[in-house]
């Protein structure tokens, strides 16, 4: 089997990829993310995912490199980044409460041997419950999600913030659209369910 590299230091993406039960290595990409709010989210996440994957091509010249990136956008399609601290996280969640927002997750499978690129993206919609200030503070004190886009993660207590979630692949919400990835790997000659 070809060497498979996940261009990510995210423990969440690594955990998701382990579900496919094949060997891979995870390497932090050498890529600086620049969020340009004037670029459509579906284009931006594909560009960022490609940059991550291609940044490892010289180090892994005969590998299949997986890149993925995600942005969270508000109702006006403006990117919502990582808060970084408690006060900013509180403001993000307060503004999102009672509304529906969308995650865009870009996915790239880059063959560093041939230069072939497969790229796609997935969307996932989250509708927040109406939340009191105390509920938001309690959530942030317990989860400390300042490093997460939108200041929440549904794989933990963040599920209690939700009223409804909709999308084709729940894994895209966490950061790696596995359904699309399986199809890309098959095109590249890797049959995840093969022997």
Confidence of residue 72 (pLDDT cuts 50, 70, 90): confident
pLDDT at 194: 86
pTM of the model: 0.90
pLDDT at 182: 98
3-class state of residue 6 by DSSP: strand
* Rounded mean pLDDT, 65-69: 97
Q: Which CATH number fits domain 3-187: 3.40.50.1820, 3.90.1720.10, 3.90.950.10, 3.40.228.10?
A: 3.90.950.10
Q: What is the pLDDT of residues 100-146, one digit of tens each?
A: 999 999 999 999 999 999 999 999 999 999 999 999 999 999 999 98
Confidence of residue 48 (pLDDT cuts 50, 70, 90): very high
Confidence of residue 38 (pLDDT cuts 50, 70, 90): confident
Predicted confidence (pLDDT) at residue 1 exceeds the cutoff of 80:
no
- 91-108 in b/e burial notation, b at 16+ Cβ within 10 A? ebbeebbeeebbbbbbbb
* Rounded mean pLDDT, 15-20: 96
133 is catalytic: no
* Rounded mean pLDDT, 81-97: 91
Contacts 24+ apart (CB under 8 A), 186-195: 187/109, 187/118, 188/2, 188/64, 188/109, 188/111, 188/116, 188/118, 189/2, 190/1, 190/2, 190/4, 190/22, 190/64, 192/20, 192/21, 192/22
Residue of 36, 69, 120, 134 marked catalytic: 69
Instruction: Spell out the domain ranges in the chain.
Output: 3-187
């Amino acid at each position: 089997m070809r060497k498979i590299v996940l261009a990510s230091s995210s423990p969440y993406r690594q955990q998701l990829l382990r579900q496919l039960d094949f060997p891979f290595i995870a390497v932090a990409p050498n890529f600086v993310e620049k969020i340009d709010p004037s670029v459509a989210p579906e284009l931006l996440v594909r560009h960022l995912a490609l940059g991550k994957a291609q940044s490892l091509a010289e180090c892994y010249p005969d590998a299949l490199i997986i890149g993925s990136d995600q942005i969270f956008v508000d109702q006006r399609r403006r990117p919502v980044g990582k808060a970084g601290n408690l006060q900013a996280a509180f403001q993000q969640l307060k503004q999102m409460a009672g509304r529906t927002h969308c995650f865009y997750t870009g996915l790239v499978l880059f063959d560093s041997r041939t230069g072939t690129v497969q790229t796609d993206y997935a969307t996932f919609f989250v509708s927040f419950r109406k939340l009191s200030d105390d509920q938001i503070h309690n959530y942030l004190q317990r989860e400390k999600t300042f490093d997460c886009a939108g200041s929440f993660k549904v794989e933990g207590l963040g599920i209690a913030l939700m009223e409804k979630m909709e999308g084709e692949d729940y894994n895209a919400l966490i950061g790696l659209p596995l359904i699309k990835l399986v199809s890309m790997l098959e095109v590249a000659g890797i049959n995840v369910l093969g022997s």
